[in-house]
Structure 1
Amino acid sequence: MNKIKRIEILERLRENNPHPETELEFNSPFELLVAVTLSAQATDVGVNKATRKLFPVANTPQAILDLGLEGLRGYIKTIGLYNSKANNVYKACEMLVNLHNSQVPENREALEALPGVGRKTANVVLNTAFGWPTIAVDTHIDRVSNRTKFAMGKNVVEVEQKLLKVVPAEFKVDVHHWLILHGRYTCVARKPRCGSCIIEDLCEFKEKTS
């Protein structure tokens, strides 16, 4: 795909959603960190249902530690892989209290050192909590980028690197949200909804649906 097409796609996505936001509910960098950690292989809807009960009770690292591991598990048991996620969140809270004065660090290396936090989660936190021009690539973004030919890669890291290269600076902060929402609601996995897609004429996917 050429540069002109890419910019037109980005401009349409921006016009359609000028101020995109994550669908995870949060009110602080710590709440976002917890929500994103819990969202692995789970839906944002499911995570929000759990955190609506958890965060009013415990929304700081120390409050999670005071809640205890078993108490934390009780709040997130409706989420897949809740045992391992509870362990990760609890251990991350210990590190935040002991190493970072209970604050979420605005630093990739420090974030990725936290249990349960990989590159994608760190990218989401840096982008959404701190406004960094990072691009977190999940299955939706990987699919949209490859299917449309916007930024092709054999894996999520390759797609991320390609996106960082081809997306102009003015779009970088928001492109993660635009692409994930587009993949979640329009360019869906089994049968993309091409007929209702605002970038259908620019997309280079050959097997478009009606």
Structure 2
Amino acid sequence: MRPADRLEMFNRLKAANPNPTTELNYTSPFELLVSVVLSAQATDVGVNKATAQLYPIANTPEAIFALGEEGLIPYINTIGLFRNKAKHVIGLCAMLIEKHNSQVPSDRTSLEALPGVGRKTANVILNTIFKQPTMAVDTHIFRLGNRTGLATGKTVLDVEQKLLKNIPKEFLLDAHHWLILHGRYVCQARKPKCNECIINDLCEYSGK
């Protein structure tokens, strides 16, 4: 995709949605961190249903840690891989209490050291909470980057690095949210809605 087309692409996405944000429900950095960990291989809708029951009862590292894995599982057992995620969340809470004064850290190294937190989750937190221009590449963004020609690559890291390079700087802070929403609702995996797409004429997808 040409630089002029990339600029036009994000001008249109911004005009359609000036203030994009995550679809995960949260009221604190800690709640978002837990929700993102729970969202791996799960839908935001499914995570929000579970946390709507959990967070009124426990929404701090101390409160969730006090539940323990067996106490946490009934709240999240509708989410895929819930046993493993319960283990991660309890471990994450313990580390936040022990090493970070129960606060979500604002640097990548500390975030990625937390149980259940990989590069993608760290990027979400750094971007959404700490307003850093990071790019969390999930399946939607990986597909969209390759399909449109915005950022092609064989690995998630390839696409992430090319997105950071190719997206005009003034759009980088919000680009993650624009792209994930576009991939989720328009540029879908099996049958992209090209006839509804506001960047159809800029896209390099051969199947449109």
Normalization by structure 2: what TM-score?
0.99
Cα deviation per residue 1:77-100 (whole Å; 9 max; x = unaligned)?
Answer: 000000000000000100000000
Alignment of 1:1-210 (within 5 A): 1-208=1-208
Unaligned runs of 5+ in 1: none
Unaligned runs of 5+ in 2: none
Cα deviation per residue 1:15-52 (whole Å; 9 max; x = unaligned)?
Answer: 00000010000011100000000000000000000000
Distance in 1 of aligned mates of 2:205 and 2:91: 43
CA contact (8 A) 2:136 2:176 kept: yes
Cα deviation per residue 1:165-198 (whole Å; 9 max; x = unaligned)?
Answer: 1112211110000000001000000011000000
Q: How many residues align?
A: 208
SS at match of 2:52: helix
Distance in 2 of aligned mates of 1:41 and 1:70: 21
Letter in 2 for 1:173: L
Q: How many Å apart are 1:126 and its aligned residue?
A: 0.6
Percentage of pairs with the same residue: 64
Q: How many Å apart are 1:66 and its aligned residue?
A: 1.4
SS at match of 1:68: helix
CA contact (8 A) 2:20 2:177 kept: yes
Normalization by structure 1: what TM-score?
0.98
SS at match of 1:69: helix
Letter in 2 for 1:8: E
